[in-house]
């Protein structure tokens, strides 16, 4: 089964126009019908804006993996 990894949130914006870069990291890993969001970056607003720019529907995510837990993760996932 093929997997696709999409960088949704990173320190450096791009390469697609409209993406915002900020401290943190988030990847969307797609395999078949599964879509796993690995980490959420440092800002929920930026994460959602970047997802919209990349045409990623939040409701399509089937799993969430948090590699660390901090106040910024808690704020992002609310």
pLDDT of residue 1: 79
Q: CA-to-CA distance for 70 and 59, rounded, in angstroms?
A: 23
Q: CA-to-CA distance for 31 and 29, rounded, in angstroms?
A: 7
List Cβ neighbours of 30 (8 Å cut-off, separation of 6 or more).
3, 4, 5, 6, 36
pLDDT by residue for the chain (78 residues), tens only, comes to 799 999 999 999 878 899 999 999 999 999 999 999 999 998 999 999 999 999 999 999 999 998 876 555 555 555
**Owner of token pair 């939040």:** 58
pLDDT of residue 3: 95
pLDDT of residue 69: 67
Global confidence as pTM: 0.83
DSSP one-letter code for 44: H
Residue 30 CB-density burial (10 A; 0-12 exposed, 13-18 middle, 19+ buried): middle
- Domain residue spans in the chain? 4-77
pLDDT of residue 78: 52
């Amino acid at each position: 089964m093929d997997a696709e990894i999409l960088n949704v949130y990173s320190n450096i914006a791009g390469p697609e126009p409209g993406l915002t870069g900020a401290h943190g990291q988030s990847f969307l890993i797609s395999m078949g019908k599964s879509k796993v969001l690995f980490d959420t970056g440092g800002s929920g607003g930026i994460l959602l804006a970047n997802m919209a720019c990349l045409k990623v529907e939040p409701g399509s995510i089937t799993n969430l993996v948090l590699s660390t837990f901090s106040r910024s993760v808690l704020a992002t996932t609310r």
